[in-house]
């Protein structure tokens, strides 16, 4: 099992590795300062210790996770041409160009969701 994203990418066929390298750089550009790690055997990007977005390569496609109803609604037009799984996944065909802007926007949207959830969980400041 891969311990780093470089390890994860190294075992993939070259065409898949090239596409996922582009996905990786797209996410890194969208989430500057995010920690890159492996979780559940696939690359994940974390902000403030919280998982924001994952990606994984498969035989005919690559996936970006998690996709929720808010993301599906916010990006309905752009996502309409891709397969969406009921398990929070959008699948992009390996044979098509990487939709850089869409992936960047999804990553930033997820980062805002994660930040909002974290803020809501913080205890209220003590009043004096």
User: Would you say 52 and 31 are in contact if contact means Cβ atoms under 8 Å apart?
Assistant: yes
pTM: 0.90
Give the residue carrying structure tokens 């035989």. Answer: 59
CA 69 to each of CA 23, 40, 86, 110, 114: distance values in angstroms, whole numbers, following the listed order: 22, 22, 10, 12, 15
**Cα 27 from Cα 82, distance rounded (Å):** 18
Question: Whose structure tokens read 């993301």?
Answer: 71
3-state secondary structure of 33: coil
- ∠ at Cα 74 (99, 25), nearest 5°? 30
Residue % of the chain over a pLDDT of 90: 84
Q: Which residue has the higher pLDDT, 25 or 1?
A: 25
User: Confidence band (pLDDT; 50, 70, 90) for 127?
Assistant: very low
Query: Across the chain, what does the average pLDDT equal?
Result: 93
Residue 110 phi, psi (nearest 5): -60, -40
> Distance (Å, rounded) from C-alpha 117 to C-alpha 39?
20
pLDDT at 119: 80
* Residue 123 pLDDT greater than 80, yes or no: no
What are the tens digits of pLDDT across the range 48-93? 899 999 999 999 999 999 999 999 999 999 999 999 987 899 999 9
Domain spanning 5-118 has what CATH number? 3.90.1150.200
CA dihedral 71, 77, 83, 89 (to 10 degrees): -10
Q: What's the average model confidence in pLDDT over 19-40? A: 97
């Amino acid at each position: 099992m891969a311990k780093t994203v470089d390890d994860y990418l190294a075992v993939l066929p070259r065409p898949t590795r090239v596409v996922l390298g582009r996905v990786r750089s797209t996410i890194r550009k969208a989430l500057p300062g995010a920690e890159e790690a492996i979780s559940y055997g696939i690359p994940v990007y974390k902000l403030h210790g919280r998982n924001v977005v994952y990606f994984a390569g498969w035989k005919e496609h690559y996936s970006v996770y998690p996709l929720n109803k808010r993301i599906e609604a916010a990006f309905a037009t752009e996502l309409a041409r891709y397969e969406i799984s009921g398990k929070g996944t959008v699948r992009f065909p390996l044979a098509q160009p990487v939709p850089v802007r869409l992936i960047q926007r999804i990553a930033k949207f997820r980062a805002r969701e994660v930040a909002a959830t974290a803020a809501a969980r913080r205890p209220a400041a003590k009043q004096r």
